[in-house]
């Protein structure tokens, strides 16, 4: 990013940032909110990955294993947390390596530049986890709308979580596959075109991963 005070606006003029609240989150957090975080890699590009935000005080997030997100925040101490509900963007970030030139995703409804501070770590089922305290230092609301409930979107998210746990120690593979199958039923019955596209990509990512083994 060339200037955090003047974030590159995405292509559509309707999406020019409309609100700037330094030091605060751009959305109300409760329970766990699924976000995507961009972190700067050693190659100068921004890695995109899911990050669950725990609405503790302060907000925390946990990385599992030596992921790119963890390595990047260990090196840079920061990332851009984005609120994205586009199912295709979410699936790609959850199940493949996505790197972009600009830290702000085109589909972000809101984002926050966040400082990461390591507060705890441990090992579970052989995977080292690190808990981070997240402090927003800049935040922008890009677009808002009327919130609605979509079973298809929920199914895509749930299936992405399950797919990312396939063959991971500590998770029941059969249960993950049942979750994905149920989500497939929901998306076939109730999914929007974009949710169907996301599910197709999810299946492609999982197949690709299985073929690599």
Residues in contact with a copy of itself by CB under 8 A are 26-28, 30-35, 52, 55, 83-85, 90, 109-110, 141, 143-155, 157-158, 161, 175, 178-179, 182, 186, 189-195
In the complex, the smallest distance separating the C-beta of residue 31 from a copy of itself, rounded to whole angstroms, is 3
Nearer to a copy of itself, 45 or 151 (CB): 151
Classify the C-alpha dihedral 126-127-128-132 as positive or negative: negative
Nearer to a copy of itself, 40 or 79 (CB): 79
For residues 106 and 11, is the Cβ–Cβ distance under 8 A? yes
Alpha-carbon distance values, 197 to 13, 75, 123, 207 (Å):
26, 35, 36, 15
Nearer to a copy of itself, 44 or 193 (CB): 193
From the list 1, 68, 78, 79, the residue with the least C-alpha distance to 35 is 79
In the complex, the smallest distance separating the C-beta of residue 90 from a copy of itself, rounded to whole angstroms, is 7
DSSP 9: P
In the complex, the smallest distance separating the C-beta of residue 134 from a copy of itself, rounded to whole angstroms, is 15
């Amino acid at each position: 990013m060339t200037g955090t005070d003047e974030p590159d606006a995405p292509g559509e003029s309707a999406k020019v940032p409309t609100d700037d609240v330094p030091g605060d989150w751009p959305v109300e957090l409760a329970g766990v909110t699924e976000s995507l975080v961009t972190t700067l890699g050693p190659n100068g590009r921004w890695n995109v990955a899911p990050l669950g935000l725990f609405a503790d005080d302060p907000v925390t997030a946990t990385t599992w294993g030596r992921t790119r997100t963890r390595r990047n925040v260990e090196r840079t101490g920061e990332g851009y947390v984005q609120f994205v509900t586009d199912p295709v963007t979410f699936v790609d970030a959850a199940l493949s390596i996505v790197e972009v030139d600009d830290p702000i995703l085109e589909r972000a409804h809101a984002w926050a530049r966040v400082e990461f501070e390591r507060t705890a770590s441990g090992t579970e089922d052989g995977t080292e986890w690190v808990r981070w305290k997240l402090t927003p230092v800049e935040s922008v609301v890009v677009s808002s709308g009327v919130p609605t409930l979509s079973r298809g979107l929920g199914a895509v998210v749930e299936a992405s979580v399950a797919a990312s746990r396939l063959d991971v120690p500590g998770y029941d593979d059969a249960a993950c596959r049942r979750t994905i199958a149920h989500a497939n039923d929901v998306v076939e019955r109730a999914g929007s075109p974009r949710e169907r596209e996301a599910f197709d990509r999810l299946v492609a990512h999982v197949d690709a991963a299985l073929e690599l083994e």
